[in-house]
Amino acid sequence: MNQNKVLFWSAMAAFFVPFGMALAEEEAKSEPAFLLETVYTGEIWSLARGGLNKGVSYLHNVDLMLTADMEKAVGWDGGMLFLYGLHTNQSSFSDKRVGDFQVVSNIDSGSVFRLFEAWYEQSLADGALSLKAGLYDLNTEFDVTETGGLFINSSHGIGPDFSQAGENGPSIFPSTSLAFRLQYQPAENWLIRAAVLDGVPNNSDRPKRQAIRFGAGEGILLVGEIEYRPDDRTRMLAGHWLFTDDFEVIETGLMADGDSGSYGLIERQLYREAADSAQGLSAWIRAGAADGRFNDASGFVGAGLAYTGLFARRDHDQLGAAVAIALPGDGFSNILAEKSAREVNIELTWRAEIIPGIVVQPDLQLIRNPGMIESRRDAIALGLRLEIGWGGGF
């Protein structure tokens, strides 16, 4: 990180720590029009065995977010404005040490310093209809596994069958694009959402810079999803995505259209503690498929279990185990000099709240066939995440 960035984030921390505490006190007095939040996430990772290169890497991520209730701020009923700044450091763990396809840490992205999201949302028809437009991370609403949010491996945030697609990936962390999203709730337990997004977030030739372009001959990404909650313990969804631009066929190098995929998810709270419905055991399974002509992975299956409040007097702690399996596509397998194989990631994690606003999370991941390459040595990654967050309203 250069000197200017160091000075910038030091100033932000010096200002927002005391300011956030003051805002939190004010928030308790009245409902705020503005919510200001910042979160620092730091991780230490060690490759204990296998992979590419044993050693230790340090990753960090800084989020600065402002949410404005436009009704309280300026009288616009049902309006919301959201701004989100993002910084991550240069270090990489998966690329340099593990060599895995699914990426051990969901903040491992190389150096980023940019405006990440900036959108306006308008709620209509008593909340049944919602329109959103601007710079938008589609994974905040599409292909979200609520139980999987505990885990650090990237595949439990958005499936690799979707996250790998496109020239520069879809509009997700760490690169977002201009988008228009519509969401409709026809009944209490149903949600239908669809989005139109710029097909190439930022500039793939200069990935560290923020670039906002729409209609630059790069095609668009179309995505739709249906979500159904039959009861207060169960959630099911199905989605489909499609890029309109032509992409290079992995095996032939020729251009063709049709890069698309589908995914589905079921998650359920299997056991609920009598004293607190938020505590208990939850599980999920997700499956997805992508076109193997264009994408290295043509399929994915993920599943896991997470228990909230397992230990006495530790109501907010979460303990979990998950598996993520990426399946190589035919194009990737056919051009690979070595034999391809499915990459399997098994993750064990414990998220512990030390005090409000400070969380530590030890994490263990076992990776079989990193990079979907059979000859690559199976890897063991040990990590420790620290999150420090503060904020409040005004």
pLDDT, tens digit, 9 for 90 and up, residues 301-337: 999 999 999 998 899 999 999 999 999 999 999 999 8
Residue 202: pLDDT band by 50, 70, 90 thresholds?
A: confident
Looking at residue 211, what is its pLDDT? 65
Residue pair 158/117 in contact by the 8 Å Cβ criterion: no
- End-to-end CA separation in angstroms for the chain: 32
| CATH fold label, 3-393 | Porin (2.40.160)
User: Which amino acid, one-letter code, is at 18?
Assistant: P
Domain spans, the chain: 3-393
**Does residue 370 surpass a pLDDT of 80?**
yes
**Averaged pLDDT score across all residues of the chain:** 91
Neighbours of 155 (CB within 10 A): 32
Looking at residue 21, what is its pLDDT? 45
Looking at residue 312, what is its pLDDT? 87
CA distance 343 to 325: 6
In the predicted model, what is the mean pLDDT of residues 201-222?
70
**Does residue 9 surpass a pLDDT of 50?**
no
**Does residue 134 surpass a pLDDT of 60?**
yes
In the predicted model, what is the mean pLDDT of residues 49-65?
96
In terms of C-beta density within 10 A (0-12 exposed, 13-18 middle, 19 or more buried), how is residue 361 classed?
buried
DSSP per residue, 80-94: EEEEEEEEE-S--SI
Residue 204: pLDDT band by 50, 70, 90 thresholds?
A: low
**Does residue 25 surpass a pLDDT of 60?**
no
pLDDT digit string (tens) for 30-46?
689 999 999 999 999 99
**Does residue 53 surpass a pLDDT of 80?**
yes
The SS3 of residue 374 is coil
More confident: 327 or 217: 327
CA-derived radius of gyration, the chain: 21
